[in-house]
Structure 1
Amino acid sequence: MPPVVHRLGLVDYEPTWAAMRAFTDARTADTPDELWLLQHPPVFTLGQAGKPEHLLRETGIPLVKIDRGGQITYHGPGQIVVYLLIDLHRRHLKVRELVTLMEQALIDCLADYGLAAERKDGAPGVYIDGAKIAALGLRVRNGCSYHGLALNVDADLAPFSAINPCGYEGLQTIRMKDFGVTDGVDQVGERLLAHLLRLLPPHTPAAERP
């Protein structure tokens, strides 16, 4: 069974985070997986082990302390966010395998636009020539994931200068627009979604599980 896809548009961060947790808490062995495509108004999010000092200066952009892994990142319009609400056991996935799958979908999506992106050891996300174009962060509870990935399409990058992105001092952040990509968030999002759906292993029905 393929995941149910929800295209949510521009939605506030905190209610969306609450909805992810509520969905994960309420799901059963038969609840279909879901992928949420969306954008957020400007917000910084700080992961569970995140250090507040990675916010370098006050900007007026709200900071939300959340329950995913990783340090601090920025979300804003022009950045496609995909949240993956996946039952890992049902798709025979380990957490590291899901992270690798997400990175590969991003790499393949960027390759469609002629951009050569790559992973970086010890630093989840996707990079072009050492500069970060996409961030990843997950939480897994009761074998089910939430949170996900964010790809900079034509977002304002100025807020990234107010943080150490993902905890790395001086890490340059880039966007697809800088490479001449004219597709907007919705078009890139659909292409990225297709790669995620292609790479996700099939869902094993409850009756067939060991």
Structure 2
Amino acid sequence: MQLRLKKLGTCDYSETWRAMSAFTEQRTPSTIDELWLLEHPSVYTLGRNGKPEHILDSGNIPVMQSDRGGQVTYHGMGQLIAYTLFDLRRLDIGVRRLVSGLENAVIATLAQYGIPAQARADAPGVYVDGQKIAALGLRVKQGCCYHGLSLNVNPDLAPFARINPCGYAGLQVTSLCALGVDINPLEAAVPMIGYIQQAFGYQEFIA
């Protein structure tokens, strides 16, 4: 089973969202799954059932309503975004298995840099000493998913203080840089894509 890897650079959130949605609507049972790696310029996004009151002060950062699950999060430069355009029926997995596979891929990636991390049953994502370092938000349509995860590599963390991250008041957020690992998002992607490949049984990557 193949997985197409796309390194897209810096991409506007709304344009990327439309592209993911169109890809999912148009795909067939034979369409190869894709993993999109990118960064977004600063934006707050609200999930389908997101509560606007979790945005405390958006300032000059735009707010976008999204069709992913979850509450509010922040995306910005220095954050590794991995969008998972996977056929869950073909992988023979459900959403819970997808979430845990992605969380475990991030946990294994952080372990490569000497950072012990954990998932939480009550709040999807990955945490280091109670501080959130990676967020997940997904949408499933007709057995196929899109959206995915964000890993804080070296972003400005200040915008997270202006929201209740993922709907949790007072939740602290951290990054690889804040934990003493000086790399860029694409460097962090190298081990992570390997762990994603292992987690879901893809035999090879194609361009």
TM-score by length of 2: 0.96
Q: Which amino acid letter does the alignment assign opposite residue 63 of structure 1?
A: V
Q: Which amino acid letter does the alignment assign opposite residue 90 of structure 1?
A: R
* Aligned residue number for residue 53 of structure 1: 53
Deviations 1:5-55 (A, max 9, x none): 000001110000000000000000000000000000000000001000000
Q: Which amino acid letter does the alignment assign opposite residue 40 of structure 1?
A: H
* Aligned residue number for residue 11 of structure 1: 11
* Aligned residue number for residue 134 of structure 2: 134
Contact 1:92 1:201 in 2 (8 A): no
How far apart are residue 201 of structure 1 and its match? 2.6
- Structure-1 separation of matches of 2:90 and 2:194: 20
- Structure-1 separation of matches of 2:91 and 2:47: 26
TM-score by length of 1: 0.95
Deviations 1:122-144 (A, max 9, x none): 10000001000000010000000
How far apart are residue 68 of structure 1 and its match? 0.6
Q: Which runs of 5+ in 1 are unaligned?
A: 204-210
Q: Which amino acid letter does the alignment assign opposite residue 56 of structure 2?
A: L
Cα RMSD for the two superposed structures: 0.9
* Aligned residue number for residue 28 of structure 2: 28
Q: Which amino acid letter does the alignment assign opposite residue 174 of structure 2?
A: I
* Aligned residue number for residue 65 of structure 1: 65
- Structure-2 separation of matches of 1:57 and 1:202: 42
* Aligned residue number for residue 125 of structure 1: 125
- Structure-2 separation of matches of 1:136 and 1:82: 10
- Structure-1 separation of matches of 2:152 and 2:58: 22
Q: How many positions carry a matched residue from both structures?
A: 203
Q: Comparing 136-145 with 188-197, which one deviates more in the overlay? A: 188-197
Deviations 1:95-117 (A, max 9, x none): 10000000000000000000000
* Aligned residue number for residue 155 of structure 1: 155
How far apart are residue 179 of structure 1 and its match? 1.4
- Structure-2 separation of matches of 1:58 and 1:132: 20
* Aligned residue number for residue 94 of structure 1: 94
Contact 2:3 2:202 in 1 (8 A): no
Deviations 1:130-160 (A, max 9, x none): 0000000100000000000000000000100
Deviations 1:52-106 (A, max 9, x none): 0000013110000010100000000000000000000101111100000000000
- Structure-1 separation of matches of 2:149 and 2:86: 13
Contact 1:91 1:202 in 2 (8 A): no
The answer as to 2:79 corresponding to 1:82 is: no
- Structure-2 separation of matches of 1:142 and 1:156: 36
Q: Which runs of 5+ in 2 are unaligned?
A: none
* Aligned residue number for residue 208 of structure 1: none
* Aligned residue number for residue 108 of structure 1: 108
Secondary structure, in 3 states, of the residue corresponding to 1:106? helix
How far apart are residue 191 of structure 1 and its match? 1.6
- Structure-1 separation of matches of 2:123 and 2:108: 19
How high is the sequence identity, in percent, across the aligned residues? 51
- Structure-2 separation of matches of 1:137 and 1:152: 15
Q: Which amino acid letter does the alignment assign opposite residue 58 of structure 2?
A: E
Question: After the TM superposition, which parts of structure 1 deviate over 3 Å for at least 4 consecutive aligned residues?
Answer: none
Contact 1:154 1:175 in 2 (8 A): yes
How far apart are residue 2 of structure 1 and its match? 2.0
The structure with the largest strand share of the pair is 2
